[in-house]
Chains A and B, each alone.
Chain A
Amino acid sequence: MTTLGRRVSTGSSWCARVPEVIGVKDFGMMDSIKTSIRSDLIESFERTWATLAGPGAVWTGAERLKIAAETRRARDGLPPESALPDGAIEATRLLAADPAAARRSWVENLAAGGLDLPRYVELLGVVGRLVAVDTFYEALGLPLEPLPGPRPGVPTGEIADDARPGRGWVPMIGGTSINQALSLVPSENEELERLHGPMYLTFEQMSDLTFTRGLTRPQMELVAARTSAVNECFY
């Protein structure tokens, strides 16, 4: 698997593992669905796992996996368990399980309590990417992929010094936009975009209103709009 231009090992087994899923056997679709998962999706999930397990700009790989594990615990309604700082646990759990409850004052209070904006933005990227992949498997009735082990290394410290405050709650490069939402931590913004393309459309493909793959564009937009409605996301 290629990550950031080099081969890395995640220890995962995305296609090889035969999942045990209660209920799916009744419909006899497990094997055909597994083999229908496009290779670009598999590659993007492998890359996601590899990058979640490695050091980011401000969190170590071990810390990022604690965020990931806490994300799953929050979505499962389980109590917090990780050794992360209190602000990080609070942020992880709300963004994982009740993101529509986020407010500007809440982000400001987290920052005042020690979870500075780069750490918050990177944490948000980790939570978001993990939930994306987990939801994909949940929607197919497949079991979740186990989290990988951490990769060693120190955080890169790469924070965008040209990110500026705007109408959003965190600084961004080039003005406030969804495409640049995580750009304070460029590596997280880049990884989000790498996942966004295979799972939905690249930002460039979004301008093609007739785009068709397994679904037509109106079918894709119906799914996107309904997902956002259930999540109570106005944007």
Chain B
Amino acid sequence: MLAHTGMLSSSSEKTNTPVDLAAVTDPSIDPLIPGGTELLRLVDEALARSADISRAAEAVRTELGPAGLIDAAGVIGNYQMMNRVADGTGIPVGKGSRLRNAELINRLGLDRLDHTDG
């Protein structure tokens, strides 16, 4: 999560796209990114394996087009895989990344998720 929240911040800066990073941990917050609210809902409904997934998918398709929906489904699937790989092999966040993202870790309360030494 830390890696991609960092890349969200960096890519938004690089592309001059406004973003509220707090939406990553609180989807009730508008992330400001075009289609962001719909994308967050798709993630949450997909991971909950919700019966409402079709409505969430249709909302993304309406907002971002079929190719956007396909990309979103791909990214969700990929990180279902990569999260398992990271958690299952105990990949730690490096000291440099921790330092660079110290403010983000503190603001979003991410330290509670770190169990790589456990």
Q: Which residues of A contact B (CB under 8 A)?
A: 21, 23-24, 26-27, 29, 32-33, 36-38, 41, 75, 95-96, 99-100, 102-105, 107, 121, 124-125, 127-129, 131-141, 167-170, 172, 176-178, 181-182, 192, 195-196, 198-200, 206, 209-210, 213-235
Contacts and interface: CB of A to CB of B under 8 A. Distances in A.
A181 B82 CA distance: 10
B74 A198 contact: yes
B89 A41 contact: no
A82 B11 CA distance: 44
Interface in B34-70: 34-36, 39-40, 42-44, 46-47, 49, 51, 53-55, 57-58, 61, 64-70
A10 to B, nearest CB: 19
B61 to A, nearest CB: 6
Interface in B10-34: 10-12, 14-15, 17, 19, 23-25, 27, 31, 33-34
A178 B74 CA distance: 19
Contacts of A133: 77
A181 B11 contact: no
Contacts of A199: 74-75, 77-78, 81
B4 interface: yes
B85 to A, nearest CB: 5
Given A182-B85, A234-B115, A220 B71 contact: yes
A181 B31 contact: no
A146 to B, nearest CB: 18
Given A135-B80, A138-B46, 6 more contacts: A27-B54, A95-B87, A199-B81, A216-B34, A219-B68, A234-B93
B103 interface: no
7 cross-chain pairs, A with B, having the tightest CB-CB distances, nearest first: A214-B67, A214-B71, A228-B1, A169-B90, A36-B66, A221-B8, A132-B81
B14 A223 contact: no
A24 to B, nearest CB: 5
Given A102-B87, A140-B57, A132 B80 contact: yes
A178 B85 contact: yes
Contact of A218 (B17, B73, B91): B17
Interface of B: 1-5, 7-8, 10-12, 14-15, 17, 19, 23-25, 27, 31, 33-36, 39-40, 42-44, 46-47, 49, 51, 53-55, 57-58, 61, 64-93, 110, 113-118
17 contacts: A23-B54, A41-B74, A99-B88, A121-B89, A124-B85, A124-B88, A128-B80, A169-B90, A176-B91, A199-B74, A199-B77, A209-B10, A218-B17, A219-B39, A227-B47, A234-B113, A235-B116
Contact of A225 (B24, B54, B88, B93): B24
Contact of B14 (A125, A176, A210, A226): A210
Contact of B31 (A141, A213, A222): A222
